[in-house]
Structure 1
């Protein structure tokens, strides 16, 4: 997160504009860009469980006319965990160059390098329909189960304004990922508190290439104002993995664990390879129209063609193509209120592999949505109430017979209400909150082989794991505007989640929970510099809760009470 300016959450299927995306929505990460004026920042964070993180941010012009600018973000993190054996060490660097060739033409070059060393946590198992009661710090894995992930990203983007109405831009990204992992997983209960485990190691390389071109224009026709977008993109992902699994069994008594000092030999175990090459072409057209009587219309189409081929014998290949429509209408009878409705379809993707090491088919989805939006107090406060009806096909989940592989759910439907509130109520007082009521989210078609039929009956009507009927959060901060407390910010909030099913069999339930958080921050000037102090307390009441499951038989504890302090110097 060292080079992240902000994170945008775009709800609902978004593949018409963003291509290969999850049907549930898109997370858009906006990175920090070079500034025309020099700016430097040094941040030191420290917290519970020996957490230490240092971040540096430097930016400014490289030429007198400020047309060539740079920015460099670096961070180093060394942190332990509330769980045994769990230690993280992360190194990250992200330099960026931007060249303003002319007032209408811009070129940017960015690089990211990350080396992430983290533990492999197998969580805890369920027993008798609920999570087994164990100390939060207990680790049922092994100290030698580790993951080392190295990532390199190179991005090139440019844009040109033909005039005030028409613009073209292109982005090219390539990401090279190498991951070495020694893992421990669960096979299932043996009995009398003894759990069966498996062990293996894997080396995975994933090279991804992406480019897109967008042409955007604004024009008027017969009293209607158009914003037209025409574009195309290309995506390629080449993944190859070598793995070896221990052929025996690694039993462990979950109540009185005895850990292995050394890894067992993999000699005679299950050795194999899997991987795939995916090539994805897409073209799209969208028109956003401002009509008379405060009406706004949106319409678009996207065509995708995706080819996936196994990298290893026995070779197999399949081609999917699809036309995805998108449409919506919004009416704004008064400046403070809008009523809208929309329909969209999605042609997404999956990186999962089945028991035969074959890649699963892409996810698809369709969604209806209606709602109202409001803007109050000179647009300082916004609110949305929405009803959604979303259906996904080919959603991957854990294979119950092969826990380290996946199967595709034939179809899952989700319907419910969402409320979002955000803004500034009074000077210095800000609030953000959300609530979701999802009474219906269940499997409507069972595990599907290739879309031709159900191969594992019995899941129809089961509720989707990790989705509560009730889910809400509220956060508020107040910054003193004057007087002796000027510069002081106080904040607090809570997250509450109801009961959830842990797997698609609905064989166990994760209990609901509420977690309270607090923060205090203080800003002051030190000559030409600025200093910011902040303290966060998460899970203030030290609630023992379960953050979620893997959709199968692995459950994870949430964080205990955690303190995080930060000191930032800017100049």
Structure 2
């Protein structure tokens, strides 16, 4: 079996090396100008050029049958060859000279800018890559036209005081934009206007049209046969969301999973755990004890719901989180902020980016954060956190980019197991009462380094290769509620014990993708082929002490304890080493203009070895599995999609049978249907989904030998979700969600757990956050935000012996931005509601929610 795995690893490595060598060969060929088709005169022209031409400037002729077929397939793309701006009786007339059929543009408004998006089009001006004209008419500050990815052109017409209105007409080979100014006064400058023009390097606001998480290709969300939700950077900033749970409140179907005493990111999606299923720019961050994710450098967060093994390997079936981080920019930008708030919060940040050389082929970005403060519950251990993330992008050529990035995070904070349950509810005691030791702590250091290399083989095919190394070293010492003695619910006596963990985790990840676009007759294809390899090493030292130090939860008396030091723990521990190789293939097929088929499959080869250091005993398991996905999208009109999909997932099973072998991998199977729509001229994106998701091959006790397991367990989650995101009117934004989940044990070997609800899974969730920024006048730049977040009842343990009650939390924000600075005030839990976030483990560790929290922030940008 190991030989099969070794062969798979060899194949993955060879493919990765070949792809990288191909990219470098193409780079060297391009840079040295030694292609066979170049003559001496061409070489002289290249050396005399001031800059390397952009791809959009090149017009290669077809020299092979394949190239000729490709050009025919691309003939439906509209070319904009000229732009004329002329005054008219209504204000202004912009004429776009086009070749090809008349396109169908869509419009939206961002600030004072009217945005016109033209699909299936490319800007092909004879003298420039883009178009700009300043102050062409009274009340119009700027007109610009820019190429966007995936053959789209964006025209932005910026008003001096308010967005203009437009009438769009197609006449012969022209697209005519009749512009009417809505300005109250004039005087805006080009510099002012550029601040609100939307380009591919500036913020997209609330609405994001495309995603790479669901398909690993840049795909329109309306064309994805599944539920993919995006929380953009503007929402994160408005809400001052410093932690992932603050972000997840905006999305249906996500719940918290305890968080190891509010020290780790642990959550569930669609009823099943998704802990350890966080990705960063499409690459998994698999370490279990990774510290709380830093949000300062996030451009957006993408949540893919349902099984994702077809593209990302062995995973639980609920879904994944992909963190998309900020990248270097062409224009220099220097930003800093300072947040001060409740419980001693002090949080300075800075963000620096720009070019490193004159021709802008080397770009950099550095994000850094320092944070200190106190846990809102009374511990002597303070929060001490430092984060830095450098990124360097090298534009090797017009077709090749290399990005190298790293991260360092140090985090120390108290471990807080919360309060116990009495009867079927959390104990009726003050929510800030602590039953651990004031010096309990968890200290974590995390290092990460990697690269992403992308090379365009030609206009239709590209190869991507990425590598990442991640190391997490964590240590914690805490006074935990002790079991089996636990809590005497009559007297209130809680038994406790000192426990200790010292995990070290390392991950090595290599992945290579090849993406191509081609046509078979009238049918267009986007093909994805990839291989990835993950090696993960984990070393755990864990010690559970004897029961000591009882305390009365109703009338606590805090005594000084003989607290052990770290040197008191001598624990042999155990090691886990796993190797996995995945090979996958996916095809997105445009059967017709309104029907899209997505078909994909993946083979995984997984080998895992567990070593008990004290006994030197070794346990191994090897599995091979196939994970398919099939989906279909029907678009009766451009802004409306109906979809249906089937997908499966797998994750290794750690339950052991009586013969010493592991059970078959746990499988997830989902059936999903849904509808998506873009409303208000594309400014509002809505998704309504219904799903049935099962998790099978779960180990249950063997009735003939209770020390071992058999595979008869099954859990099911089914529900309905609604998510809304976008801009209702200029300056008025909204993100909202509504979800229902029925998650239960459907089979458990005839045990008493059948029919029980899964723990920490709310039956209903709802959220609404809306913000408005005044667009003009003396108060322009003043904004308001308010949100309500509802979490329904949740089962507290597998036996359903207690329940966490539902709650409704209200947040608010007030901010004002002027020129290059901004001030903001955020209030979380505005009405100081008492609520409970989740359960760490069992009846003795319920995590209460924070009281009213106020944070003020001042930021400046140069």
TM-score with structure 1 length normalisation? 0.91
Task: Check if 1:215 corresponds to 2:518.
Answer: no
Q: Which residue of 1 aligns with 2:401?
A: 106
**Aligned to 1:315, what secondary structure does the other structure show?**
strand
**d(CA) in 2 for partners of 1:265, 1:24:** 40
- Is 1:276 equivalent to 2:576 in the alignment? yes
Question: 1:463 corresponds to which residue?
Answer: 757
Structure 2, unaligned runs of 5 or more: 1-294, 701-709
Structure with higher Rg: it is 2
Kept in 2: contact 1:215–1:229 (CA 8 A): yes
Match of 1:444 in 2: 746
Q: 2:471 aligns with which of 176, 193, 198?
A: 176
2:854 is aligned to 563
Partner of 1:372: 675
Match of 1:295 in 2: 595
Q: For 2:416, which of 100, 121, 142 is the aligned residue?
A: 121
Contact 2:496 2:547 in 1 (8 A): no
Higher deviation after alignment, 310-319 or 239-248: 239-248
Q: Cα gap change, 1:351/1:25 in structure 2, threshold over 3 Å: closer, same or farther? A: farther
The 5 A counterparts of 1:208-357 are 208-265=507-564, 271-292=571-592, 294-312=594-612, 313-348=616-651
Q: Which residue of 2 aligns with 1:385?
A: 688
Distance in 2 between residues matched to 1:199 and 1:139, nearest whole Å: 15
Instruction: Confirm whether residue 47 of structure 1 aligns to residue 337 of structure 2.
Output: no
Alignment correspondent of 1:450: none
| 1:199 matched to 2:498 | yes
Deviation (angstroms), 1:124 = 0.8
Q: Using the alignment, how far apart are the partners of 2:335 and 2:743 within structure 1? A: 45
Alignment of 1:93 onto 2:396: no
Choose which of 821, 824, 829 in structure 2 pairs with 1:531.
821
1:189 deviation in Å? 1.2
Preserved contact between residue 288 and residue 297 of structure 1 (Cα < 8 Å) = yes
Q: Which whole-Å CA distance do the structure 2 matches of 1:41 and 1:138 have between them?
A: 40
**Cα distance change, pair 394–194 in 1 and its aligned pair in 2 (3 A):** farther
2:445 matched to which residue of 1? 150
- Tell me, yes or no, if the aligned pair for 1:201 and 1:243 is still in contact at 8 Å: yes
Superposed displacement of residue 423, structure 1: 1.1
Distance 2:806 2:624 in 1: 41
How many angstroms apart in 2 are the aligned matches of 1:126 and 1:432?
34
- TM-score normalised by the chain length of structure 2: 0.61
Q: Distance in 2 between matches of 1:487 and 1:351?
A: 55
Q: How far apart in 1 are the matches of 2:574 and 2:373?
A: 33
2: CA distance, partners of 1:352 / 1:8: 32
Distance 1:263 1:222, change over 3 A: farther
**Distance apart, 1:265 and its partner CA:** 4.7
1:403-414 aligned at under 5 Å gives the runs 410-414=713-717
Shift of 1:394: 6.5
In the superposition, relative to structure 1, how do residues 334 and 109 fare at CA in structure 2: closer, same or farther (>3 Å)?
Answer: same
Contact 1:20–1:347 (CA<8 Å) still a contact in 2?
Answer: yes
Q: Distance in 2 between matches of 1:409 and 1:123?
A: 34
Q: Which is richer in strand?
A: 1
Instruction: Choose the corresponding residue for 2:795, options 486, 496, 501.
Output: 501
What are the superposed Cα offsets for residues 419-438 of structure 1, whole Å, 9 maximum, x if unpaired?
11111111111111110012
Q: Which moved more, 1:254-263 or 1:73-82?
A: 254-263
Question: 3-state DSSP class of the match of 1:316?
Answer: strand
Cα distance, 1:314 vs structure 2:
2.1
CA change 1:243–1:441 in 2 (3 A) is closer
Deviation at 1:548, TM superposition (A): 1.3
* Structure 1 or 2: more helix by fraction: 2
User: Separation in 2 of the partners of 1:82 and 1:505?
Assistant: 31
TM-fit CA distance, 1:272: 4.5
Q: Would you identify which runs of 4 or more consecutive aligned residues in structure 1 move more than 6 Å? A: 266-270, 350-353, 358-361, 394-397
- 1:142-186 C-alpha deviation (Å, 9 max, x unpaired): 112111000000011101001111010011011011011102222
The aligned counterpart of 1:451 is none
SS at match of 1:49: helix
1:524-553 deviations in Å (ceiling 9; x for gaps)? 11xxxx101111111111000111112522
1-structure distance, mates of 2:394, 2:428: 58
Q: In the alignment, is the contact (CA less than 8 A) between 1:385 and 1:420 conserved in 2?
A: yes
What is the aligned counterpart of 1:543 among 822, 827, 833? 833
Q: CA deviation at 1:260?
A: 4.7
SS in 1 for 2:310: helix
Q: Distance in 2 between matches of 1:499 and 1:396?
A: 27
Change (3 A) 1:408 1:378: farther
Deviations 1:24-82 (A, max 9, x none): 11111111111111111111011111111111111111111110111111110001122
Q: How many residues align?
A: 546
- The alpha-carbon deviation at position 295 of structure 1 amounts to 0.4
Match of 1:82 in 2: 376
Verify the 8 A CA contact 1:350 1:361 in the aligned structure 2.
Answer: yes
- The alignment partner of 1:16 has SS state of helix
Pick closer, same or farther for the CA change 1:518–1:414 going to 2, 3 Å: same
Matched residues in 1 for 2:653 and 2:503: separation? Answer: 16
Q: Does structure 1 conserve the Cα–Cα contact (< 8 Å) formed by 2:726 and 2:734?
A: yes
